[in-house]
Amino acid sequence: MSDLTLPPRFAVFGQPITHSLSPRIHRHFAQGLGIALDYQAIEATPELFPATLARFASQGGIGANVTLPLKEQAATLCLELSPAARRSGAVNTLVRRDDGWFGDNTDGSGLVRDLEAHLGLALAQRQVLLLGAGGAARGVVSALFEAGIAELVVANRSIERARALAHDLAACGPIQVCDWQELDQAGAFDLVLNATSAARQGVVLALPASLLGADACAYDLSYGDSARPFLEWATQHGAGRASDGLGMLVEQAAQAFLIWHGLRPDSAATLAWLRGQ
């Protein structure tokens, strides 16, 4: 039961969750717009997530973000999914309705908005290489095609997972699959996206310089220390632009904020504030 004297309740669910930037991002958005907001980080294992989410709703929770490792599970807990969530099979934004949860996925639109609005990249007719075929990779494919890319090559350590992605998302556009060992013959790309979690395990990806076309953009979906090895490789091998995924994080949050509050926050101001910290 919600108490109308209290600000509306929002949260991000994941495991681990203590280092999530989402509470700070949403509070900064709300502050900029003069909105009262209660946004907490709630730790939940996959086993406890359904009960934890149900308790959050019973205590007045009306919106939530979902992060690793709960995005696919969140999709199964929704009564209805947006087209983006249905295509990717993963939910990062939950909206409470009278009869249950509506699930959306704003990761893809967040990435595209960061690439176009903050990095000034025109995606139309671009050749794109996507490294990785996990949940984040799946989440961005349809938005990249909607932004007009010409071709997508997906390379993944386990080729079967890349093939499954290409099969499941074939309706989005032409997707080629490439073995990790075949990357030196894969050609040159305008945009190379790193959607692997290799650096989190201390693994530096061995990538041929030939992947970077003239004035290519290299983008790591992760940020902080995890993004550093890939971005160093890109700048050392002549990439025109190299960026981590902090802008994507802020933009996917801005899209969720718009869904919940009907207001678009000043995401550029929040990104500048975070980068300054």
Strand-pair category, 93-97 with 61-66:
antiparallel
Instruction: Report how far residue 198's alpha carbon sits from residue 226's, in angstroms, rounded to the nearest whole number.
Output: 8
The stretch near ligand NDP (CB under 6 A) out of 46-54, 80-88, 156-164, 185-193 is 156-164
Binding mask 7-46 for ligand NDP (x = CB under 6 A): ----------------------------------------
Please tell me whether residue 203 binds ligand NDP under the rule CB under 6 A. Answer: yes
Task: Figure out which of the listed residues 109, 226, 243, 270 binds ligand NDP, where binding follows CB under 6 A.
Answer: 226
Give helix 22-33 / helix 246-261 axis angle, nearest 10°. Answer: 50
Question: Among 222, 243, 255, 267, which residue sits at the site for ligand NDP (rule: CB under 6 A)?
Answer: 222
Q: Is 176 in the site for ligand NDP (CB under 6 A)?
A: no
Residues marked active site are found at 71
Task: State both tokens at 203.
Answer: 């693994």
Least distance to ligand NDP, CB of residue 251, Å: 8
**Cα–Cα distance for residue pair 224/68, rounded to 1 Å:** 17
CB 258 within 8 A of CB 264: yes
Interacting residue with ligand NDP among 245, 254, 257, 261 (CB under 6 A): 245
248 binds ligand NDP (CB under 6 A): yes
Q: Which is nearer to ligand NDP, 110 or 213 (CB)?
A: 110
Q: Does 53 bind ligand NDP (CB under 6 A)?
A: no
Q: What is the DSSP string of 84-148?
A: HHHHHT--SEEEEETTEEEEE--HHHHHHHIIIIIS----TT-EEEEE--SHHHHHHHHHHHHTT
Residues that bind ligand NDP (CB under 6 A): 68, 107, 132-137, 156-158, 161, 195-198, 200-201, 203, 221-222, 226, 245, 248-249, 252
